[in-house]
């Protein structure tokens, strides 16, 4: 009798895990490689972040060209490792119309110190508390970093990736959807 209950409980757990994975895959499939674009959250393009000079960076100013949006932090080793990859992509694909924006979920002093040692050619903004809101709203329910979201020129999400990316991966995405 106990063995039968164990098997039933195990079966229920496996079924629940499978349904959860299926739900998650379907929820994010529209923004993964090859699938149809998914709209960004309705209020996303009206968001504003602080730039490193204390000014304001309006996301609406970046709409109309493809955008690689990368959420990162100086205390995140994979984030630090991928910054040169993002910079290389920005330099190689900027002339083709691609933009990169780094959104730091970090303190301004830490970001400035990091960028003094590892400069990048793309803009970096500070997200403050709203950064985690946007990470979640854009599909990263785990809240992990780094998190990269790629938008087409219409402003629709065409790729999401939790974890570090590379120049080659970004270039592949860009080649699949030219600017």
Question: In this structure, are residues 92 and 167 in contact, taking their beta carbons and an 8 Å threshold?
Answer: yes
Q: Which two tokens stand for residue 167?
A: 């120049």
Q: For domain 31-176, give its CATH number from 1.10.1060.10, 3.40.50.1860, 3.40.30.10, 3.30.420.270.
A: 3.40.30.10
What is the per-residue DSSP string for 111-140? HHHHHHHS--SS-EEE-TTHHHHHHHHTT-
What is the Cα 136 distance to its own chain's centre?
10
Round the average pLDDT of the chain to a whole number and report it. 84
Domains of the chain, by residue range, sit at: 1-30, 31-176
Given a cut of 70, whether residue 33 has pLDDT beyond it is no
pLDDT tens-place string over residues 69-116: 999 999 999 999 999 999 999 999 999 999 999 999 999 999 999 999
pLDDT tens-place string over residues 113-139: 999 999 999 999 999 878 999 999 999
Residue 85, number of CB atoms within 10 A of its CB: 17
Separation of alpha carbons 177 and 93, rounded Å: 12
Question: In this structure, are residues 147 and 104 in contact, taking their beta carbons and an 8 Å threshold?
Answer: no
Lowest mean pLDDT among 73-77, 103-107, 159-163, 173-177: 173-177
Position with higher pLDDT, 43 vs 22: 43
What is the per-residue DSSP string for 51-100? ETTS-EEEGGGGTTS-EEEEEE-TT-HHHHHHHHHHHHHHHHHGGGT-EE
């Amino acid at each position: 009798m106990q063995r039968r209950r164990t098997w039933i409980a195990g079966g229920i757990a496996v079924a629940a895990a499978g349904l959860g994975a299926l739900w998650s895959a379907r929820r994010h499939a529209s923004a993964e490689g090859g699938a149809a674009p998914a709209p960004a959250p309705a209020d996303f393009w009206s968001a504003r972040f602080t730039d490193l000079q204390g000014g304001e960076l309006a996301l609406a100013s970046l709409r109309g060209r493809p955008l690689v949006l990368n959420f990162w932090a100086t205390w995140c080793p994979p984030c630090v490792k991928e910054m040169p990859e993002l910079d290389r992509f920005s330099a190689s694909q900027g002339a083709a119309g691609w933009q990169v924006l780094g959104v730091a979920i970090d303190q301004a002093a830490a970001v400035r110190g990091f960028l003094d040692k590892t400069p990048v050619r793309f803009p970096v903004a500070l997200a403050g508390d709203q950064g985690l809101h946007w990470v979640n709203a854009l599909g990263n329910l785990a809240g992990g970093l780094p998190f990269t979201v790629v938008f087409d020129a219409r402003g629709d999400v065409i790729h999401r990736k939790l974890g570090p990316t590379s120049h080659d991966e970004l270039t592949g995405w860009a080649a699949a959807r030219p600017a």
